[in-house]
């Protein structure tokens, strides 16, 4: 057994944001409603725990949600749990198992998971000083069952697809997640059947329209930025933004690109990802993707290690002829909302939360194969005006449903429910 060296949780500095800056985007009525909901909760304390402060949608949400909650009087804080490679190797195996990978956990892996959760539980000495503690995803899920508290309500926020989990992996995790006062999922299909979860509710995640990744960017500025990464701004480009992960199917995207390129020889492909410290498989699959792409100079595989940050991702999305998210499994896929917010034609895998964001052939395209992905790409190239009309409809849906103030309202409504107060919800009880 390896020793686990104690280290304190890291408090994440999220900066400052104000709800007033979003009112013109989401509407004055929603902004006013949020402030009305927040006023009687002023001074309540909310703590969020997650595995990483960068490299994925969960972290991006927190960087906006936490400061906005503070702006309306909720004392919100975000901490990142301690972990080493051995722990993140196990949590990646758990993540894959919950999304259907048939490989079960060994006793040693289970022990590693529990030891690190115990370490982090011991570090949470101020647990009883919070009114609400939110634990994100499987990595810190066991912390709640390892602590005895009297003041806080505990919420487990699941951001992954549990529609067809490995039953052994789910069985291992269920005792931990069953101890929470509420559980939140992206979709009804993700709630484990017969799990006995208290207060399982459904609401989607959200994007920040004012963050550098989503702020307005002129096409000429986007072209200038992508040019710095070797993209020919005068030729069309297909794009997928995602982690290097087999569930995102970048190899399938490359296959679709090859089909499109056979008819459009000038086509380029950009696969833009990020390498997160809680995803140890990322390097292995990154190398597989590079090898699969071969020596095609028009395939550009880039990441944060190439200095691709939020503004650069924004530029790639704005410049793309079509944005693709050809996932095989997908908890939600906020890159779809990001692309639609920029009024870009979007092609998404017909899986998970992507189907909540795209109405097929109305706001974008849903596909189930590389061949379908190629065909929809060709349709977009053949009729860009129609593709833009679909994207405009998609942007309006994102404005109404998938922006951070709407998510913020959900958290405030849930806090009111914990106080025993009746508040009209724009999410629903998964048990209904």
Reported as a single tens digit per residue, the pLDDT across 322-346 is 999 999 999 999 999 999 999 999 9
pLDDT of residue 199: 79
Which tens digits make up the pLDDT trace of 366-395? Answer: 999 999 999 999 999 999 999 999 999 999
Residue 362 has pLDDT above 70, yes or no: yes
How crowded is residue 292: how many other Cβ atoms within 10 Å of its Cβ? 13
* pLDDT tens-digit map of 62-120: 999 999 999 999 999 999 999 999 999 999 999 999 999 999 999 999 999 999 999 99
Asked if the model's pLDDT at residue 403 lies above 70, the reply is: yes
Q: Give the model confidence (pLDDT) of 109-164 as tens digits.
A: 999 999 999 999 999 999 999 999 999 999 999 999 999 999 999 999 999 999 99
What pLDDT sits at residue 432? 41
Side-chain-side CA neighbours of 244 within 13 Å: the count stands at 26
Q: 3-state DSSP: the chain helix, strand, coil percent, rounded to 5?
A: 45, 15, 40
pLDDT at residue 429 greater than cutoff 80: no
**With 50 as the cut, is the pLDDT of residue 426 above it?**
yes
Using the predicted structure, report yes or no on whether residue 424 has a pLDDT greater than 90.
Answer: no
257 or 420, higher pLDDT:
257
Question: What percentage of the chain carries pLDDT values higher than 70?
Answer: 94
Residue 1's pLDDT band, with cuts at 50, 70 and 90, is very low
Q: How does the average pLDDT of the chain come out, rounded?
A: 93
Average pLDDT on 285-292 reads 93
Residue 262: pLDDT above 50? yes
Q: What is the pLDDT at residue 193?
A: 78
Over the stretch 175-210, which tens digit does the pLDDT of each residue have?
999 999 999 999 999 998 766 677 789 999 999 999
Rounded Cα distance between 71 and 73, Å, is: 6
Instruction: Judge contact between 43 and 111, C-beta under 8 A.
Output: no
Question: What would the pLDDT profile of 33-56 be if each residue is shown by its tens digit?
Answer: 999 999 999 999 999 999 999 867
Task: For helices 310-319 and 219-227, give the axis angle rounded to 10 degrees.
Answer: 110
- Tell me the percentage of the chain whose pLDDT exceeds 90: 85
Residues 26-34, mean pLDDT to the nearest whole number: 96
345 CB-near residues (< 8 Å, 6+ apart): 321, 322, 323, 364, 365, 380, 384, 387, 388, 390, 391
| Residue 285 CB contacts under 8 Å (≥ 6 apart), including other chains | 244, 245, 246, 250
Alpha-carbon span 399 to 387, nearest angstrom: 19
How far is 388 from 287, CA to CA, in rounded Å? 34
The domains of the chain, with CATH numbers, are: 10-206+403-429 (3.40.50.2000), 219-401 (3.40.50.2000)
């Amino acid at each position: 057994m390896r020793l686990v060296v104690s280290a304190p949780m890291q408090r994440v500095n999220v900066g400052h944001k104000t709800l007033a800056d979003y009112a013109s985007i989401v509407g004055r009525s929603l902004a006013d409603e949020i402030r009305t909901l927040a006023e009687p909760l002023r001074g309540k304390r909310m703590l969020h725990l997650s595995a990483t402060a960068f490299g994925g949608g969960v972290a991006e949400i927190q960087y906006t949600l936490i400061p906005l909650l503070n702006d309306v009087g909720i004392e919100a804080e975000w901490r990142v749990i301690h972990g080493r490679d051995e722990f993140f190797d196990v949590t990646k195996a758990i993540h894959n198992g919950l999304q259907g990978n048939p490989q079960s956990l060994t006793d040693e892996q289970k022990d590693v998971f529990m030891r690190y959760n115990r370490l982090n539980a011991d570090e949470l000495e101020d647990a009883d000083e919070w009114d609400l503690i939110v634990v994100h995803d499987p990595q810190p899920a066991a912390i709640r069952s390892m602590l005895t508290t009297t003041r806080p309500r505990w919420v487990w926020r699941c951001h992954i697809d549990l529609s067809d989990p490995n039953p052994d992996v789910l069985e291992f995790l269920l005792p931990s997640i069953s101890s929470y006062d509420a559980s939140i999922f992206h979709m009804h299909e993700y709630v484990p059947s017969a799990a006995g979860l208290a207060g399982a509710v459904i609401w989607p995640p959200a994007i920040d329209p004012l963050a550098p990744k989503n702020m307005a960017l002129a096409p000429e500025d986007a072209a200038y930025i992508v040019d710095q990464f070797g993209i020919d701004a005068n030729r069309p480009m297909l794009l997928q933004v995602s982690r290097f992960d087999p569930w995102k199917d970048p190899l399938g995207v490359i296959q679709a690109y090859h089909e499109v390129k056979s008819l459009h020889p000038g086509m380029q492909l950009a696969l833009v990802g990020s390498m997160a410290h809680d995803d140890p498989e990322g390097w292995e699959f990154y190398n597989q993707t590079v090898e699969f792409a071969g020596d095609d100079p028009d395939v550009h595989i880039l990441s944060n290690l190439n200095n691709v940050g939020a503004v650069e991702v924004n530029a790639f999305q704005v410049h793309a002829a079509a944005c693709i998210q050809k996932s095989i499994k997908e908890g939600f896929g906020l890159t779809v909302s990001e692309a639609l917010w920029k009024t870009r034609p979007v092609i998404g895998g017909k899986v998970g939360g992507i189907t909540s964001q795209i109405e097929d052939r109305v706001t974008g395209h849903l596909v189930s194969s590389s061949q379908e992905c190629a065909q929809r790409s060709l349709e977009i190239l053949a009729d860009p005006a129609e593709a833009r009309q679909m994207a405009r409809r998609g942007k309006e849906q994102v404005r109404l449903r998938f922006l951070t103030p709407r998510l913020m309202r959900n958290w405030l409504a849930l806090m009111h429910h914990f106080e025993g107060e009746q508040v009209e919800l724009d999410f629903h009880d998964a048990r209904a």
